[in-house]
Chains A and B, each alone.
Chain A
Amino acid sequence: MIGLPVPADGWVSLLFGPLQFGFLADPIPWWLPPLTVGCGLLLLGPPQFDGWLRANISAWRLVRPPAFRVACLGVLFVGASLIGWTTLGSARWQYAQYLLLVGRAVEGATVINLFVRVRELLSFLDQLGKGSSNGRATGTSGWRTAYVKVKTYITKRIPRILASAVVIGLSMVLFVILVVFQPEQPLLVRIVFVYTLLTFALSIIGTAWILKRLSAHLDPLSFVGVPLCVAGGELYNVPAAFDLFASRALGGPISGATPAVFSTVGWTVGAISALGLLWWSLRG
């Protein structure tokens, strides 16, 4: 039996090679992550600032319509973002990961929706217990109520499943088109291009779906801005400097896993903060 020469840094390096792995971490098109983050920030910032000015400066309230005030602040934010983004320099990826962290924290806060569900479940079980007596009066049984509940539960999830399926289907069609009509492009470029767009679309859909529980507490622009910031943070390239650090410290190219770490930490922080605030509110 002939043994294959395994490199010192393991099979990952043998299969992909460090340079190719680094290449895989780069999104295509390269401008999509900064553009997504920029759009997300533009949607998040002006409404918050407008609210603060409206509450504190009476003259600002005279400027109407409100959409015009937000548009004016949007122009100022474009200028400010240009300066801020330039100043961030090599720390841009860290800022992108910070946005991902905060975005996931907002998602994590929706964990207290569990208490709403528990309330609904107790109410439902109560209804089910009284089902026979109520059923005789209203013509509906407890099992009928249960059927309606389950049906509603499934029906509510159909749009997300459908949207995800459409995105995955379109990505596959796009990949086939690229393979057939763009044979001059390297295969890896085509894969990364499709993967970047797929991640972007699925991230937007997933985050917006979770945030709809908070839609009553987010202004419409923030409701769009948070998913964009999260998607941008997920897409944003982790620079080679961090990759080198990670490789030396942990013995492998793990930069691709960094967004996952930030996601988990952010979600946990958001969930713990929300649960703590809920406990404090109920106790007070």
Chain B
Amino acid sequence: MDLTAVTPTLLAGLVFAVGAIVGLVGTLVLSGTELSLPLVSAFGLVSSAGVVSVLLLWPGVRRVFVAGILVVLVLSPVVVFLRAVHGFVREVTDLYR
């Protein structure tokens, strides 16, 4: 196997696909009968196939997908900051009221 052919995008596609299958099976096993089996199966397969296709085949859509990922990577720490500060400020405000 040529390891140099394993690009991060391909690796990410594999992670997404494996994650979708594991998540699908795990969800069905852990949630029991509360979820509709055909609906979840269809959703899992379509989403994993769609994500991998987008990653590997369509550069235009891939750019939007990557932009979304970058937005999440940038905003996640800010959300943590805002939540923590808001909670702490509310605690101190209650103390002084």
Contacts and interface: CB of A to CB of B under 8 A. Distances in A.
Interface of A: 41, 44-45, 48-49, 59, 62-65, 68, 72, 75-76, 78-88, 95, 98-99, 102-103, 105-106, 109-110, 112-113, 115-116, 119, 213-214, 216-218, 222, 225-226, 229, 270, 273-274, 277-278, 281-282
Contacts of A112: 88-89, 92
B30 A68 contact: yes
A109 B89 CA distance: 9
Contacts of B34: 62
B80 A63 contact: no
Contact of B19 (A65, A79, A217): A79
A49 B69 CA distance: 12
A41 B76 contact: yes
B12 A83 contact: yes
A84 B89 contact: no
A116 B15 CA distance: 46
Contacts of A273: 85
A63 to B, nearest CB: 5
B93 A64 contact: no
B30 A106 contact: no
B35 A62 contact: yes
A43 B9 CA distance: 22
Contact of A75 (B9, B13, B23): B23
Nearest to A88: B70
A278 B89 contact: yes
B79 interface: yes
A281 B87 CA distance: 12
A171 to B, nearest CB: 29
A68 B26 contact: yes
A44 B80 contact: yes
B77 A102 contact: yes
Contacts of A99: 77
Secondary structure call for the B interface:
helix
Nearest to B15: A79
A103 B85 CA distance: 12
A59 B44 CA distance: 14
Contacts of A229: 77
A83 B85 contact: no
Given A79-B15, A214-B84, A282 B93 contact: yes
B74 to A, nearest CB: 7
Interface in B23-50: 23, 26-27, 30-31, 34-35
Most-contacted residue by chain A among B8, B65, B70, B85 (CB, 10 A):
B85
Interface in B50-97: 55, 65-66, 69-70, 72-74, 76-81, 83-93, 95-97
B72 A218 contact: no
Most-contacted residue by chain A among B19, B65, B84, B97 (CB, 10 A):
B84
Contact of A218 (B19, B74, B84, B90): B84
B16 A79 contact: yes
Contacts of A45: 72-73, 76
List 6 A-B pairs, minimum CB-CB distance, nearest first.
A217-B87, A75-B19, A79-B15, A102-B77, A72-B23, A82-B12
